[in-house]
Amino acid sequence: MYIKKAWIAIIAVVIITPLVAFTKVHLDNEAKKNEARKAEVKSHILKSYVHGAFNELNPEAMEKGFHKDFAIFSMGKEGKLRRYEIADWIKGAKKRKTSAGFDPAKNKWESKFPMIDVVGNTAAVKLELYRKGKHVYTDFLSLYKYPEGWKIVAKVYHKHKK
């Protein structure tokens, strides 16, 4: 009986302990990779979206960071789905930036990222946008990772009441 218990203990030490250690290392590595992917997505959104489309009105950053078929989807009257194409948004950003009344110092948006979820080459982001301390928008962005990097492919949003 004593020998049987000793063998069980040896098996536990020799087989199970390394297996548990390997599993923990693997899970830790996956968690680190996922945190790195989340940081990539956040950086991409800050550069292309928050600064590109809002703070700096930078059409080049928008063109680089958004997929060419990107669209904003919003609910119109009577629940009709409306679609706003990236080409139109970029055209509007260029026009606004060159207008006489545009003041970049007054065009400052703050952002918070309550949720970034990355699985493989897809990401979903909940982004809150604030202007002058007021919560203006909650955006839900969808992204895909292409060989050249992340691209924002779609947006739905909620505009908060003043």
Nearest by Cα to 141 from 9, 158, 55, 102? 158
**Which CATH number covers residue 93?**
3.10.450.50
* Distance separating alpha carbons of residues 70 and 72, to the nearest angstrom: 7
Q: Total structural domains in the chain?
A: 1
pLDDT score at 94: 93
pLDDT at 14 over 80: no
Q: What is the CA radius of gyration of the chain?
A: 24
pLDDT score at 15: 75
The CB-based long-range contact list for 61-68 (8 Å cut-off, 24+ gap) reads: 62/86, 62/89, 62/90, 62/93, 63/90, 65/150, 65/151, 65/152, 66/151, 66/152, 66/153, 67/144, 67/151, 67/152, 67/153
Tell me, what DSSP letter sits at residue 79? Answer: G
Q: Which domain holds residue 126?
A: 2-159
pLDDT at 26 over 60: no
pLDDT score at 25: 60
* Distance separating alpha carbons of residues 105 and 55, to the nearest angstrom: 9
**Position 19 confidence tier, pLDDT thresholds 50, 70, 90:** low
Entry pTM:
0.81
